[in-house]
Amino acid sequence: MIEYKGYVARIEFDASVDRFHGSVINSGPYPIATFEATDVQSLHCEFQRSIDDYLAWCEEDGVEPRKPFSGKLNLRLGSGLHQRVALIAAEEGLSLNTWIKQALEQKLSRDRLRTYADQ
């Protein structure tokens, strides 16, 4: 993955045509930009050009650009899990949002420590 101006792109290599293909993955349900190149240096240039073109187009047309990772996330937990989490959050005096955020931060922290210990 590569990043530019907060936008992140996933890169794949297609050996059948000897080309890298990239698409922005943190701008919502569909990519705002796709690009391709034959080498890594060109790939970075094409990615940056794609983002700059997208932002210029938005400004030209008076459209608000899709922001990378807005911080809003809709979850479908199922009613049973939703109820369990809501009750635990209430017992701890936390909002459901705060409880879920803390749980995710703790999980990421544990996984990061485990990853470093494995190296």
- Give the predicted TM-score (pTM) of the model: 0.60
Q: Are 10 and 25 in contact (CB under 8 A)?
A: yes
Edge-to-edge strands of the sheet including 7-14?
Answer: 2-4, 7-14, 19-24, 34-37
Q: What integer pLDDT is reported at residue 72 of this predicted model?
A: 75
pLDDT band at 20 (very low <50, low <70, confident <90, very high): very high
What pLDDT was estimated at residue 74? 81
- Calculate what percentage of the chain has a pLDDT beyond 70: 92
Which residue's entry shows tokens 């990239």?
22
pLDDT in tens, 47-100: 999 999 999 999 999 988 887 776 777 889 899 999 999 999 999 999 998 999
Return the structure tokens found at 65: 């650009």
Who's near 69: CB < 8 A, 6+ residues apart? Answer: 6, 26
